[in-house]
């Protein structure tokens, strides 16, 4: 089993109400890869510039993330500058410097084309489709998106959704894409667009998983303090997709188990800046929190 992820690797500068960090490892593919690597083999497709620190290469390699698909180009790495002011659910973007990511042309090594699972992180839907066409027929395809692509590449995104098994979005993106006021109504319309399964993230209010015939609702893992929410969604996706690949099954029961692991991985990610909290984990830590979470959400039968 192996998972290929195609997305961004970035250097982030982040400020919260009491702390700030400069040029730390970020990007959707970074968080996803590290999170998923606790469950399955991960192959990363992204691009960085000549300024990308060696320590971050080494960090990803330490989790045995395959970096053959990580292209190194002349220029600077994608950079994002943002802050959280009061509402830790909403990031304020101050600067975005695409740099080498602006002309991202995903390089798919031959060895990546036999992957069992493909995750298309929130890059241009045309690039997502190109990668899917090039890789061929993975057993399971999942994708993410963002509000910018919903606005600017709506037609292309909807075409992609006809070819994926799992679509992961937040509640605002779901409403924007379907032009609906209610989350559940939006979910029904999204499932009609093609994906077999749908996950809608609602931040601190948890997650909804649905298929055409089934639905499950999960709370977020309760934490007293949130340090940095950046990468929570990508860490969630990494945990979820990693578990799906490890399981080798694609039924609704597996999706429900995967959401539990995704929730747990996201809860770890937000306890520190960048990938710092994830780097301190081992599988025992993950299973301990998973078991606590299951105890919390499993009601006694009447």
In 3D space, the residue among 255, 256, 300, 264 whose CA is nearest the CA of residue 283 turns out to be 264
User: What does pTM read for this prediction?
Assistant: 0.95
**What pLDDT, on a 0 to 100 scale, did the predictor assign at position 301?**
63
Give me Rg for the CA atoms of the chain.
18
Q: How far apart are CA 17 and CA 72, in angstroms?
A: 35
Q: How far apart are CA 243 and CA 131, in angstroms?
A: 22
What are the pLDDT digits (tens) for 91-136? 889 999 999 999 999 999 999 998 999 999 999 999 999 999 999 7
**What pLDDT, on a 0 to 100 scale, did the predictor assign at position 203?**
86
**What pLDDT, on a 0 to 100 scale, did the predictor assign at position 85?**
82
Q: How far apart are CA 128 and CA 119, in angstroms?
A: 9
Q: What is the β-pairing status of strands 10-15 and 20-26?
A: antiparallel
CB 188 within 8 A of CB 203: no
Residue 140 dihedral angles phi and psi, to the nearest 5°: -150, 130
**What are the Cα distances from residue 175, in Å, to 183, 196, 233, 237?**
6, 18, 18, 20
**What pLDDT, on a 0 to 100 scale, did the predictor assign at position 254?**
97
Averages of pLDDT over runs of 10 residues in the chain (302 residues) are 95 93 97 98 98 97 96 97 83 93 94 95 95 91 94 95 97 95 96 97 94 96 92 97 97 97 98 96 97 89 64
Question: Regarding the domain with residue range 2-84+91-294, which homologous superfamily does it belong to in the CATH classification?
Answer: Ribokinase (3.40.1190.20)
DSSP assignment of 102-155 equals GG------GGGGG-SEEEE-SS-HHHHHHHHHHH---SEEEEE--HHHHHHSHH
In 3D space, the residue among 82, 39, 33, 81 whose CA is nearest the CA of residue 57 turns out to be 33
194: left (phi over 0), alpha (psi -120 to 50) or beta: left
Residues ≥6 apart with Cβ < 8 Å to 18 = none
**What pLDDT, on a 0 to 100 scale, did the predictor assign at position 24?**
97
231: left (phi over 0), alpha (psi -120 to 50) or beta: left
């Amino acid at each position: 089993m192996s998972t290929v992820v195609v997305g961004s690797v970035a250097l982030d500068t982040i400020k919260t109400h009491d702390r700030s960090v400069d040029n730390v490892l970020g990007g959707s593919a970074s968080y996803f890869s590290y999170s998923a690597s606790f469950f399955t083999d991960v192959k990363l497709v992204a691009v960085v510039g000549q300024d990308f620190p060696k320590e971050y290469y080494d960090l990803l390699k330490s989790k045995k993330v395959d970096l053959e698909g990580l292209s190194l180009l002349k220029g600077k790495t994608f950079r994002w500058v943002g802050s959280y002011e009061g509402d830790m659910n909403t990031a304020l973007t101050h600067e975005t410097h695409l740099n080498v990511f602006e002309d991202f042309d995903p390089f798919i090594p031959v060895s990546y084309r036999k992957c069992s699972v493909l995750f298309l992180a929130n890059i241009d839907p045309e690039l997502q489709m190109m990668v899917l066409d090039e890789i061929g027929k993975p057993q399971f395809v999942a994708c993410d998106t963002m509000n910018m692509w919903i606005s600017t590449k709506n037609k292309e995104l909807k075409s992609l959704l006809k070819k994926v098994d799992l679509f992961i979005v937040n509640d605002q993106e779901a409403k924007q894409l379907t032009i609906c006021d209610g989350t559940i109504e939006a979910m029904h319309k999204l499932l009609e667009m093609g994906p077999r399964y749908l996950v809608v993230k609602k931040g601190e209010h948890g997650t909804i998983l649905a298929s055409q015939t089934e639905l499950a609702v999960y709370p977020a893992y309760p934490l007293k303090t949130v340090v940095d929410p950046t990468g929570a969604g990508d860490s969630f996706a990494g945990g979820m997709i990693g578990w799906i690949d490890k399981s080798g099954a694609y039924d609704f029961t597996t999706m429900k188990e995967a959401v539990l692991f995704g929730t747990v991985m996201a809860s770890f990610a937000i306890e520190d800046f960048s990938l710092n909290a994830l780097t301190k984990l081992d599988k025992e830590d993950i299973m301990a929190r998973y078991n606590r979470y299951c105890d919390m959400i499993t009601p006694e039968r009447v």
